[in-house]
């Protein structure tokens, strides 16, 4: 695999790849190490249990993300296919959209892609059943991971710690703890028993992006871990930590990316809006140099769709395909089962236009492209490092300060209470 492709994956802040690199490669290791050192200030014994709890929590969660969620999705797709439907159909097509819907795509592609249209017709004939299957898939890929990561895993983790503390009968050194009282679960925690699932209400969740699904999962994970926390101080700390994690995982990298792109343009005059795969594409660079890049003449949704459908072999259509913004069949027919995000296509068009203008004005498109590729690669790596530092170092430091101010102790509040109960 080319280096530009790897950096491209890391630079896609709408995908899971940057999160995986930060979680497994940097954040988890740093958090376990820092947890041990923080607790070791007052107790070597507690430090070992705290580090083990953090390792199980972080790597267990990563395992569910990496293996559990994709596997559940795979099984759900198999069930959908066994019921006679294609799992490749975008749920966005179920919505009333004059340009992209089941009815519209059936009419538009019935002659050019008749086999794929049959998949759409099956759904149209029994839309209700297909919706229920898709809602079931959504619930399975959210509720099961939330239950595992937010409820089951913490309980097992905490019970193991409690068992070990009871076995050792070893007590903490005397420190000035604030009194801790048991607190019942507040109304902010999720109550599964009282919840009633409405398939009609859940229709609005169909078609959300993978990143939005991940945000929902982390929201449920937060609620679960607050609920399973062992005392009010641990609940407060979990809420504080998870709020910071959600912001730094989903919002901060996009802001950092925008900031780095603007800074690079202001300081060096280099446009880094395009993906590294495109900047490393010799066909694209040659076409820009010779002014042969044909782009949609309008941002209007109908014109954009018309362009990618009637000109599938154009360079812009190929670039869009490479960015997974559009999918084509082997015969270069746009896959009617897939929804096209026009906003993202327009974003690609604007980025290409900006690069073309700046690179041509520079006097040498090739040299400008090489500089842009290096600058973009640097920005992507810098983004991963900055966001990783914020998650793996800055957030835990602030979390430990929060704990110290709240409990006057460096020790994990949940483990401290278990030890006090012996």
SS (H, E, C) 219-283: HHHHHHHHHHCCCHHHHHHHHHHHHHHHHHHHHHHHHHHHHHHHHHHHHHCCCCCCCHHHHCCHH
DSSP summary character for residue 205: G
Task: For residues 385-396, give the mean pLDDT.
Answer: 90
d(CA 378, CA 381): 5
pLDDT tens across 301-310, in order?
999 999 999 9
* CA-to-CA dists, residue 270 to 287, 361, 369, 393, angstroms: 19, 11, 9, 31
Residue 188 binned pLDDT confidence (cut-offs 50, 70, 90):
very low
In this prediction, residue 419 has a pLDDT band, given cuts at 50, 70 and 90, of low
CA 167/CA 335 separation, integer angstroms: 62
Distance CA 165, CA 159 (A): 10
Rg (CA), the chain: 26
Q: Give the other-Cβ count within 10 Å of 216's Cβ.
A: 16
Mean pLDDT score, 203-227: 75
- Most trustworthy range by pLDDT among 75-89, 154-168, 238-252: 75-89
Q: What is the pLDDT of residue 123?
A: 95
Residue 222 is predicted with a pLDDT of 84
Is pLDDT at 197 greater than 60 in this prediction? Answer: no
* Of 147-151, 200-204, 293-297, 407-411, the least confident: 200-204
207: left (phi over 0), alpha (psi -120 to 50) or beta: left
Q: How far apart are CA 272 and CA 284, in angstroms?
A: 15
Identify the helix (H) or strand (E) that includes residue 383: helix 365-389
Q: Who contacts 224 (Cβ-Cβ below 8 Å, separation ≥6)?
A: 146, 147, 149, 150, 151, 154, 190
Q: What angle do CA 310, 276, 213 make, to 5 degrees?
A: 75
Q: Which of 173-187, 193-207, 278-292, 401-415 has the lowest mean pLDDT?
A: 173-187
Please state, for a pLDDT cut of 70, what percent of the chain lies above it.
83
Q: What single DSSP character describes residue 170?
A: P
Would you place residue 186 in the very low, low, confident or very high pLDDT band (cuts 50, 70, 90)?
very low
What is each CA distance from 50 to 69, 186, 366, 397, 412, in whole angstroms?
27, 25, 54, 16, 7
Residue 230: Cβ-neighbour burial (10 angstroms; 0-12, 13-18, 19+): buried
Residue 27: pLDDT over 60? yes
- Helix, coil or strand: residue 328: strand
Q: Which is nearest to 390 in space by CA: 263, 256, 258?
A: 256
Q: What is the dihedral of CA 206, 207, 209, 215, to 10 degrees?
A: -10
- pLDDT tens digits along 37-60: 888 887 888 888 888 888 888 888
3-class state of residue 94 by DSSP: helix
Contacts of 42 (CB under 8 A, 6+ apart): 172, 173, 175, 409, 410, 411
Range of lowest pLDDT (24-33, 238-247, 405-414) = 24-33
pLDDT at 14: 60
Whole-structure pTM value: 0.79
Residue 293 · residue 352 · CB < 8 Å:
yes
pLDDT tens, position by position, 63-113: 887 778 888 989 999 999 999 999 999 999 998 889 999 999 999 999 999
Q: Strand ranges (DSSP E) for 295-405?
A: none
User: What angle, 0 to 180 degrees and rounded to 10, lies between the N-to-C axes of helices 153-168 and 413-421?
Assistant: 40
C-alpha dihedral over 413, 419, 420, 422, to 10 degrees?
A: 150
pLDDT at 47: 85
Q: Is residue 195 predicted with pLDDT exceeding 80? A: no
| Mean of the per-residue pLDDT values of the chain | 84
Classify residue 226 as exposed, middle or buried by CB count within 10 Å of its CB (0-12, 13-18, 19+): buried
């Amino acid at each position: 695999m080319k280096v530009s492709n790897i950096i491209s994956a890391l630079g896609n802040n709408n995908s899971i790849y940057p999160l995986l690199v930060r979680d497994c490669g940097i954040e988890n290791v740093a958090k376990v190490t820092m947890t041990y050192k923080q607790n070791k200030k007052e107790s070597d014994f507690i430090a070992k249990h705290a580090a083990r709890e953090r390792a199980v929590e972080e790597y267990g969660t990563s395992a569910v993300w990496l293996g559990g969620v994709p596997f559940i999705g795979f099984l759900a797709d198999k069930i959908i296919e066994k019921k006679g439907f294609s799992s490749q159909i975008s749920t966005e097509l179920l919505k009333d959209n004059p340009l992209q819907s089941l009815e519209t795509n059936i009419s538009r592609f019935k002659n050019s892609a008749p086999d794929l249209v049959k998949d759409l017709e099956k759904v149209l004939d029994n839309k209700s059943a297909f919706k229920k299957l898709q809602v079931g898939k959504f619930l399975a890929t959210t509720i099961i991971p939330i239950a595992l990561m937010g409820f089951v895993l913490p309980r097992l983790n905490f019970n193991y710690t409690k068992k070990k503390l009871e076995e050792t009968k070893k007590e903490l050194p005397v420190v000035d703890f604030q009194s801790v009282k048991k607190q019942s679960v507040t109304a902010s925690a999720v109550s599964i028993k009282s919840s009633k699932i409405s398939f009609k209400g859940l229709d609005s969740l169909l078609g959300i992006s993978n990143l939005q699904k991940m945000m929902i999962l982390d929201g449920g994970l937060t609620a679960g871990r607050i609920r399973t926390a062992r005392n009010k101080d641990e609940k407060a700390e979990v809420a504080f930590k998870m709020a910071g994690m959600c912001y730094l995982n989903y919002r901060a990298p996009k802001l950092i990316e925008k900031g780095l792109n603007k800074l690079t343009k202001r300081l060096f005059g280099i446009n880094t809006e395009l993906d590294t795969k495109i900047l490393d594409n010799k066909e694209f660079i040659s076409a820009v140099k010779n002014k042969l890049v044909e782009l949609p003449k309008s941002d209007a949704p109908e014109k954009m769709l018309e362009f990618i459908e009637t000109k599938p072999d154009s360079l812009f259509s190929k670039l869009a395909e490479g960015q997974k913004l559009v999918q084509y069949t082997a015969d270069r027919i746009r896959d009617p089962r897939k929804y096209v995000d026009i906003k993202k296509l327009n974003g690609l068009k604007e980025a290409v236009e900006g690069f073309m203008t700046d690179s041509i004005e520079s006097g040498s498109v090739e040299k400008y492209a090489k500089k842009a590729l290096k600058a973009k690669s640097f920005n992507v790596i810098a983004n991963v490092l900055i966001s990783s530092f914020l998650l793996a170092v800055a957030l835990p430091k602030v979390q430990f300060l929060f704990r110290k101010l709240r409990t006057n102790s460096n020790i994990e509040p949940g483990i401290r209470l278990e030890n006090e109960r012996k």
